[in-house]
């Protein structure tokens, strides 16, 4: 993409990866800009954090909708109205439907705290310790309909150290998350065709 890719970050919680993306996107030469942060939970601490960085941040409260299709329609409408090119999931705790994911194919990514394909799903640090892993880490991947299973864009490894607790291990992994997620976004944004090209090829960019 010759211009910076308009990027939305979807969160549900504290938003430390969101912060890393916002901070990275401020540096000159970064190929994406963070134009919007959305949370399914109005109480997410990441919302005021995003605003403190000067980024528009809004809740689309899942509980205010009658079900997933209505919630996702609202999400899609907001992404379209902000002319978003790329969606980054960053601690977004809702499973998106296959039709939503398909609409964003190749332009929706996620960060997961394990070395995929190991340890899909939740509680990865506890499970890494319980299973006696000597190595753990994190993965940025494209999102597909299957949970934590899309094509891998970046990974970082950390050692599991003697005496590690889940919290200590999580903190070690999180430092790497903050490093690789911006890098993967930058690379993806650089590789995307321009929006005008999408439109000419008939691929729907807004919905």
Active site residues: 112
Site for ligand GRF in 35-64 (CB under 6 A): none
Q: Is 177 in the site for ligand GRF (CB under 6 A)?
A: yes
Phi, psi for residue 130 in degrees, rounded to 5: -65, -30
Out of 6, 38, 79, 113, the only residue in the binding site for ligand GRF (CB under 6 A) is: 113
Query: Least CB distance from residue 186 to ligand GRF, whole Å?
Result: 17
Query: Least CB distance from residue 194 to ligand GRF, whole Å?
Result: 29
Distance, in Å, from the CA atom of 62 to the CA atom of 70, rounded to the nearest integer, reads 9
Instruction: Compute and round to an integer the Cα radius of gyration of the chain.
Output: 17
Binding mask 85-104 for ligand GRF (x = CB under 6 A): -----xx-------------
Out of 87, 111, 160, 188, the only residue in the binding site for ligand GRF (CB under 6 A) is: 111
Task: Judge whether 137 and 117 are in contact, CB under 8 Å.
Answer: no
Residue count, binding to ligand GRF (CB under 6 A)? 15
Distance, in Å, from the CA atom of 90 to the CA atom of 82, rounded to the nearest integer, reads 19
**Sheet containing 32-39: which strands, arranged edge to edge?**
57-59, 32-39, 5-11, 86-89, 108-112, 135-142, 152-159
Nearer to ligand GRF, 22 or 188 (CB): 22
């Amino acid at each position: 993409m010759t211009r910076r890719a308009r990027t939305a970050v979807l969160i549900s919680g504290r938003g430390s990866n969101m912060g890393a993306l916002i901070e990275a996107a401020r540096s000159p030469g970064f190929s994406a800009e963070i134009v919007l942060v959305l949370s399914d939970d109005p109480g997410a601490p990441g919302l005021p954090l995003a605003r403190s960085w000067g980024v528009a941040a809004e809740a689309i409260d899942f509980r205010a909708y009658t079900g997933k299709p209505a919630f996702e329609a609202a999400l899609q409408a907001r992404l379209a109205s902000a002319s978003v090119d790329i969606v980054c999931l960053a601690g977004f705790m809702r499973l998106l439907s296959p039709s939503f994911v398909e609409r964003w194919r190749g332009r929706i990514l996620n960060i997961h705290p394990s070395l995929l394909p190991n340890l899909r799903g939740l509680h990865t640090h506890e499970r890494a310790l319980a299973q006696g892993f000597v190595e753990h880490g994190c993965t940025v991947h494209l999102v597909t309909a299957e949970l934590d299973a899309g094509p891998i864009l970046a990974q970082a490894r950390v050692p599991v150290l003697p005496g590690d607790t889940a919290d200590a291990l999580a903190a070690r992994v999180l430092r790497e998350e903050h490093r690789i997620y911006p890098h993967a976004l930058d690379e993806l944004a650089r590789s995307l065709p321009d929006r005008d090209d999408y439109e000419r090829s008939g691929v729907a960019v807004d919905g």
